[in-house]
Chain A
Amino acid sequence: MKDVIEGRVWCVGDELDTDQLIAGKYLTIIDPKELRKHVLENVDPSFSQQAKEGDILIAGENMGCGSSREHAPAALKAIPLGAVVANSFARIFFRNSINLGMPAIEAPGVRAIFQPGDTCRIFLREGRVVNVTRGKEVSFPPLPSHLMDLLEQGGLVEKVRQELKRSGAKP
């Protein structure tokens, strides 16, 4: 994982819940590539067609509130987005994102300094989100070390695999 993430910005508002990210009718889909076709379709139908690798989604308060469905971050990761940055996150969405290896950055005040199409640069370890287009920035408390480790390993699957390997290797 890179320490600096840069990408083109998409914006969504406050309280973007998981029903809006991926509607209930798509919950029987497992393949993330299929899911990405429907992500945010009730909010911004152009998103699933036009979002491209490395783009960054900037959200307001309580991003991803609602259900535990991993379909929501899985669909965003399938684009694959570079990161999701929000004023604040709902906890299961936040956890699911990190578990899938997609950086989720909580940076209070970040939504206000971005417009769609701006360029965003995130300094993960320094804890800064910069709007390169407009010359503005906000800071955030960097992720705790165990979450940084999780991201560096590419997510929870790899972390657990390593852990099981280590414990299995013991006599």
Chain B
Amino acid sequence: MSAPHAAQGTAARGGATLSQKILSRASGLEHVVPGQIVDGRVDLAMCHEQGAQAVLPFHQMEAKKVWDVDRVVVAIDHWVPASTEGAAQLHQILRHFAQEQGLKHFYDVGNHGICHQILAEHGWVVPGDLAVGTDSHTNMLGAMGAFAVGIGPTEYAAVLALGKIWLKVPSSIKVEVKGKLAKGVYAKDLVLRTIGEVRCDGARYKAIEYAGPTISSLSMSERFTLCNMTTEMGAKAGMVPPDSKTFEFLEKIAKHEMHPLYPDADATYERTVHLDVDGLEPQVACPYSPDNVRPISALVKEHVKVGQVFLGSCTNARMDDLREAARIFKGEKVAPHVRFIVSPASTSIYRQCLKEGLIELFTDGGAVFTNSSCSACFGGNMGILAPDEACASSSNRNFPGRMGAKEAKIYLMSPAAVALTAIRGEISDPREVL
């Protein structure tokens, strides 16, 4: 693949990172440098329920029409179907607005999924894109070789009105990964390890750019997991340069033209984090921060009991995640006094689970298999925790109060670790059974 929109003549100025490349394309400038403020043309704007808060500012701006209805996706996911009157109103505001503006790409109840997963599986974000979304985990779409960034609803209203957004070009941290993930060790463990290294604020205002042989070997789903949790390092965006896997993934589904871009070999990074995953063991982010990361063996020794187990969220509820958890859970039962909630990342994943017998497999063992939504991840819909409870979760955040009571403890881990923990009722190492 060629890189037709790569900034020209960058060699004379020193190489450009992938972030610089994409933002120079988006802004129509030949070369941009970290710290520079640019106006970027937006290739894709996505909202979930928070988009309802953009409707009033959009009208206050006296905007008449959305700039390009084929670049706008609405994907409700936090309360689907609406579980409260408030949520029903948010959905209604969005439906009315979509009707008024002729927004055709509305993933409503029955055709729904977690917004980032919807963008991914329908090919809404492609290499070289500048994408924005009203959710902090919009970073996930950086796995397409795009610059995907989370924004608030007022900003989203401005994007709908103008089709552009101002951005400060970030400096980039290169995360270079080598080695082979062992059996029972996953992209989730790699990203948790990375967060432990970079910390929750280590990439504030910066981009994370993944590189190295391990990254090339990962599937798109695994790359989504990696980019998704760059948010937990404070990153503005996280990305993987496109390769044959990206193009194959998008071949039949890409919604618009690709402009693949790549970092220059002599690009300047703020720093490079070198990780070797040979010998890496499963990781767990402990309460109350995603960067409080410990190896799972330490927790196994402490016999950390849980009352709830959650397999879901945009981070880890795709087919490969659910299949891997099912491999461990097959023929087993949920431990006494434990609730196991499984929520697929989209309705199409739900249907695939139905075809493959996974819904039966999980529910036979005593799990509850819900329709697709953000589910227990954000503490506002279902799977809420009481003060003295602990939860093992494949999601992305464990701040105080994230899933309900502020005292409740959330342990973040891979889907495989979650599945074994559901069976045993205490945090368990999936390598023991794989």
| Chains A and B bind each other | yes
| Nearest residue, chain B, Cβ from A101 | B154
Known: A68-B151, A157-B57. A91 touches B90 (CB 8 A): no
**B394 within 8 Å of A (CB atoms):** no
A92 to B165, CA, bound (A): 13
Interface residues on B, range: 35 or more
Q: Apart from A70-B153, A161-B62, list 5 A-B contacts with CB within 8 A.
A: A20-B401, A24-B378, A28-B49, A90-B201, A157-B157
The size of the chain A interface, using a CB distance under 8 A, is 42
Candidates B61, B380, B397; contact of A157 at CB < 8 Å: B61
Instruction: Report the bound CA distance from A89 to B201 in whole Å.
Output: 9
> Which residue of B is nearest A92, CB measured?
B150
Asked whether, in the complex, the Cβ of A28 is within 8 Å of the Cβ of B61, the reply is no
Least Cβ–Cβ distance between A117 and chain B, in angstroms: 25
Query: Do B151 and A92 have beta carbons less than 8 Å apart?
Result: yes
Contacts of A114-171 to chain B: CB distance below 8 A: 144, 146, 155-157, 159-161, 163-165
Please, how many angstroms separate the alpha-carbon atoms of A160 and B162 in the complex? 8
The chain A residue with its CB closest to the CB of B59 is A157
Residues from chain B with Cβ under 8 Å of A92 in the complex: 136, 150-152
Contacts of A89 in B (CB 8 A): 204
Q: A29 to B86, Cβ gap below 8 A? A: yes
Any B CB within 8 A of the CB of A49:
no
- A65 touching B153 in the complex, CB below 8 Å, given contacts A160-B61, A160-B158: no
Per-residue 0/1 for B327-346: is the Cβ within 8 Å of any A Cβ (1 yes, 0 no)?
Answer: 00000000000000000000
Distance A89 CA – B200 CA, assembled complex (angstroms): 12
Measured between alpha carbons, how far is A146 from B53 in the docked complex, in Å?
A: 24
Q: Which of A30, A62, A91, A164 has the most CB of B within 10 A?
A: A91
- Chain A residues, CB < 8 A from B158: 99, 156, 159-160
Which one, A42, A66, A146, A156, contacts B155 given CB within 8 A?
A156
How distant is the Cα of A161 from the Cα of B403 in the complex, in angstroms?
Answer: 38
**Contact present for B380 and A25 (CB under 8 Å):** yes
Could you say which residues of chain A place their CB within 8 Å of the CB of B61? 157, 160-161, 164
Q: Chain B residues with Cβ under 8 A from A24's Cβ?
A: 378-381, 401-403
**Interface code A91-117, partner B: CB below 8 Å = 1, 0 otherwise?**
110011001100000000000000000
Would A99 and B380 be within 8 Å (CB), given that A29-B86, A90-B234, A161-B61 are in contact? no
Q: Across the interface, do B406 and A42 meet the contact criterion of CB distance under 8 Å?
A: yes
Residues of A within 8 A of B162 (CB): 160, 163-164
Distance A61 CA – B202 CA, assembled complex (angstroms): 11
**Closest 6 pairs between A and B when the two form their complex, measured CB to CB:** A28-B86, A24-B380, A70-B152, A24-B379, A96-B152, A62-B201
Q: Is B25 interfacial (CB 8 A cutoff)?
A: no
Scan residues 351-406 of chain B and give those whose CB is less than 8 A from a CB of chain A.
Answer: 378-381, 384, 397, 399-403, 406
B52 at the interface (CB under 8 A from A): yes
Q: Is the Cβ of A88 less than 8 Å from the Cβ of B204?
A: yes
Contact B63 A164 (CB under 8 A): yes
Partner of A68 from B136, B157, B401 at Cβ < 8 Å: B136
- Nearest chain-A residue to B82 (Cβ)? A28
Q: Which residue of A lies closest to B402 (CB)?
A: A19
State whether the Cβ of A4 lies closer than 8 Å to any Cβ in chain B: no
Known: A29-B86, A157-B61. A95 touches B151 (CB 8 A): yes
When the two chains form their complex, are residues B201 and A28 in contact, meaning their CB atoms are under 8 A apart?
no
